[in-house]
């Protein structure tokens, strides 16, 4: 890992904007006509407002290539109705938001992957009867998150605006209190420029603290040098992990001086610590190694199965 750089590379949103102008300056939400889909679309609308970009609503119409000609308008009309109702609802709730609606046809996963390539973030909901839901391995949502070129945010059904904010002074839900922390699960020393850029950007647009978690693996006892006490070896490994994390975050701290960063180094099972750290978060950011092929990876897969807050899966490396 290069420890001599003085500033991070541009975050993925910035880098893509420089390369493609305004082409990718949207947050895209895949909707399916369910209430769970609308919860995700509303989260996407708020994210678009935070970032100052338009919202693109996407509803994939059924593939009509093999349908009789007299029936070909049916699925498209239903899809257009879903889009129109969603756009009207969101424009009423968020009058300042620019909304664009698109209605591609064909396989759902392929259409969503194509949309993700042209967006800053793709947002999908849970528990869709059309295949978006549950965040289970093999579902459309998991397949898209595992293959998309851009970040994919998975939003649980029932997600409310108040869930992203700390309670008010009486302990009740609020939309005007500060945002809950953004949590980043960071695996070192893997390259993670895109992952760090997304997490810092997400925290900055919310004015939220960023909690960065790195979990290191306890070495097997037979790997300890002869004559050295195991507690000493573990303490040394922990200190090395803290130094490595601090060095990785230093240029990003300088690039985002207004963002409060909390560094957390733990040992043991990554999934356990990620679940614990994400409790009470407004957003969990996890990485997916792009070169590892079309799969989420162990940490991301565990997170989407068990974490309650929205989860951003960011390809990197």
pLDDT in tens, 259-273: 999 999 998 889 999
Residues 231-255: what's their mean pLDDT?
89
**What value does the mean pLDDT take over residues 294-317?**
86
Most confident of 72-76, 273-277, 288-292: 273-277
For residue 259, which phi and psi values (nearest 5 degrees)? -90, 125
> Is residue 10 predicted with pLDDT exceeding 50?
no
> Model-level pTM?
0.84
pLDDT number for residue 223: 52
Give 5: exposed, middle or buried? Use CB within 10 Å, 0-12, 13-18, 19+. exposed
Most distant CA pair in the chain, distance:
82
Residue 247: predicted pLDDT: 95
Average pLDDT, the chain: 81
Residue 214: pLDDT above 80?
yes
Handedness of CA 32, 38, 44, 48 (dihedral sign): positive
Per the DSSP assignment, residues forming a β-bridge with 183 are 211, 284
Q: In the predicted model, is pLDDT for residue 256 greater than 90?
A: yes
Give the pLDDT of residue 225: 55
Write down the pLDDT at residue 229: 52
DSSP annotation of 105: B
pLDDT number for residue 138: 40
pLDDT score of 78: 65
Among 8-17, 86-95, 249-258, 262-271, name the one with the lowest average pLDDT.
8-17
- Mean pLDDT over 20-29 rounds to 70
Does 284 or 143 have the greater pLDDT score? 284
Inform me whether the pLDDT recorded for 219 exceeds 90: no
Contact between residue 34 and residue 129 where contact means Cβ atoms under 8 Å apart: yes
With b for 16 or more beta-carbon neighbours within 10 A and e for fewer, the 152-163 pattern comes to bbbbbbebeeeb
Q: Using CA atoms, how far apart are residues 210 and 313, in angstroms rounded to an integer?
A: 16
For the beta sheet containing 182-185, the strands, ordered from the edge strand earlier in sequence to the opposite edge, are 99-102, 55-58, 27-30, 121-125, 152-155, 311-316, 283-289, 182-185, 210-216, 261-267
| pLDDT, tens digit (0-9, with 9 covering 90-100), for 115-164 | 999 899 999 987 533 334 334 434 788 889 989 999 999 998 889 999 99
pLDDT band at 56 (very low <50, low <70, confident <90, very high): very high
């Amino acid at each position: 890992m290069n420890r001599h750089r003085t500033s991070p590379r541009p975050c993925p949103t910035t880098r893509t904007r420089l390369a493609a102008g305004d082409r990718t300056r949207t947050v895209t939400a895949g909707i399916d006509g369910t209430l769970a889909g609308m919860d995700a679309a509303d989260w996407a609308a708020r994210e678009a407002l935070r970032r100052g970009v338009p919202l693109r609503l996407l509803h994939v119409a059924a593939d009509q290539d093999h349908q009789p000609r007299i029936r070909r308008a049916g699925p498209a009309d239903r899809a257009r109705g879903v889009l129109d109702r969603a756009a009207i609802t969101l424009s009423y709730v968020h009058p300042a938001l620019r909304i664009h609606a698109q209605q591609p046809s064909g396989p759902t996963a392929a259409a969503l992957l194509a949309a993700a390539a042209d967006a800053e973030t793709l947002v999908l909901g849970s528990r869709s009867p059309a295949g978006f839901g549950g965040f289970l391995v093999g579902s459309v949502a998991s397949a898209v998150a595992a293959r998309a070129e851009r970040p994919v945010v998975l939003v649980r059904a029932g997600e409310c605006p108040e869930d992203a904010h700390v309670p008010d002074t009486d302990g009740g839900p609020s939309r005007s209190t500060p945002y809950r922390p953004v949590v980043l699960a960071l695996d070192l020393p893997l390259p993670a420029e895109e992952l760090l850029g997304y997490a810092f950007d997400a925290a900055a647009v919310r004015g939220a603290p960023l909690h960065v978690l790195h979990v290191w693996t306890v070495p097997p006892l037979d790997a300890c040098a002869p004559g050295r006490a195991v507690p000493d070896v573990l303490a040394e490994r922990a200190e090395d992990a803290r130094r490595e994390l601090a060095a990785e975050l230093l240029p990003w701290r300088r690039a985002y001086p207004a963002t409060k960063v909390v560094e957390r180094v733990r040992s043991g099972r990554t999934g356990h610590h990620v679940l614990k750290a994400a409790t009470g978060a407004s957003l969990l950011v996890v990485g997916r190694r792009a070169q590892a092929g079309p799969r989420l990876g162990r940490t991301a897969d565990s997170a989407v199965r068990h974490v309650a807050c929205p989860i951003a899966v960011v390809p990197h490396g």
